[in-house]
Structure 1
Amino acid sequence: MGVDKLAFTGSTGTGQIVLELAARSNLKPVTLELGGKSPFIVMDDADVDQAVDLAHHAVFFNQVRRRATNGKGQCCCAGSRTFVHERVYDEFVEKSRARAVKRVVGDPFRNGVEQGPQIDGDQFDKILRYVRSGVDSGATLVAGGDRVGNRGFYIQPTVFADAKDDMKIAKDEIFGPVQTILKFSGVEEVVRRANATHYGLAAGVFTRSLDAANTLSRALRAGTVWVNCYDVFDATIPFGGYKMSGVGREKGIYALRNYLQTKAVVTPLKNPAWL
């Protein structure tokens, strides 16, 4: 009851509990930065090689942790739903497979390692269950899909193609090294499908067309939209989500506003007590 404000970063499920407990106590305001299943959209005019590298980074960013952390060693805004235009889809899938196979997995304290282990056995098992679900539901496993070695919680960089929107690997936040590639044919279609999620933390757009960039930026229901880049942060850029990805914003003046209250003070200009 003595706490006036709460800020929480973590899973959507835990965020719901935090919000409920805050309401039951003194109705304190809460800001939440929660999960995501962010779309990364590759248009047909894209440079495929650059798009593959950026999409790979969008998914696998933050897989190496060189210091202690209480997280899973992954990224809440990972662009794990990779939507690729049908005209460049096959080339993109093949080059994404080749990039994933080259990714170096191992001890994150060694130079040259791109991906370390999952934080614990529970997360390790959860990710592999999602991989099995993807295979069982009919997605094409083009890279990875298994553990690395027989010690530790290392998972191969994994890429799925031919995924469908209703598959678990395309709906749930896996929080692991798994890229799901989906095919689309037009802007209106990809906007509808990208927004058909409970989440809305971030999104990525890769295109040479300013019109397409502007259209998608406005239409995507996400707190951050990166155009021809991904995971670019700054202390002044607001960060937070739509829908079940959170409430409020972090960073800059937008974050400060979460900790302020607006007060109105009214007094008559002719106050007898002051005469």
Structure 2
Amino acid sequence: MTINCKGKLIDLTTPRVMGILNLTPDSFYDGGKFRKEKDILLHVENMLSLGATFIDLGAYSSRPGAEEVSTDEECKRLLPVLELILGQFPEALISIDTFRAHVAKEAIAIGASMINDISAGFMDESMLDVIAENHIPYIMMHMRGNPQTMQKKTSYDNLVRDIILYFSERLSVAKSKGIKDLIIDPGFGFSKTLEQNYELLNKLDLLKMIEKPLLVGVSRKSMIYKLLGTDAHHALNGTTALNMLALQKGANILRVHDIGEAMECIKIHKQLTA
């Protein structure tokens, strides 16, 4: 199971880590933390040195109820930092967390390696065309509505079946446009209650029938800290527990804030399955 990133074949048979770099002032865990160029470069260097295969760069907070950010503001936050990172780490594989085709196109022109779209193309009908034109890997996530409305859209006939049907439809559209490198993200925390998030994680192995690489992002999310009665800053232990379960259920990529701990999960999982 491989994807082609800028001419490099990345084998996802061995799980990989995607490190998170948020450029938003209001992200739920690290909002506003990385503003200075020195801090950004040190953080990226640290993530790469600890073993991250990908760095996911985002400039639009998708937390529940997040404020709308204009396309211009998203580009203003994102593109100079992308240039900065690739100037210092030209071989880095940078994923861009955006649902906007214009932002994706500009980032790809600078050197982004893949696009991570929370809406799977629903929030910008031009997105799939941009992906197809640039022959770039595309992560499509399950969500209903948008970050402002998604937590009002949590009614399902059958949660896992409905998610599988969602991906079947989106994958069909993407394939019709010639997109080959596709990754699915079930969208923990998006359009799902706390109980639904755990139901989904418990049945995650059913998504294997889709036969696409699976990305799991539960890092420090409210499904952990609300259950444990704590906050995002004290949710690393819970994150590690869920990451290990996700690996056992078939996750190919862990999207995380804490690289070293995720790499340790992968090392232990590899030993268990040797």
TM-score norm. by structure 1 comes to 0.37
Structure with the higher fraction of residues in helix conformation: 2
TM-score norm. by structure 2 comes to 0.38
Which structure has the greater CA radius of gyration?
1
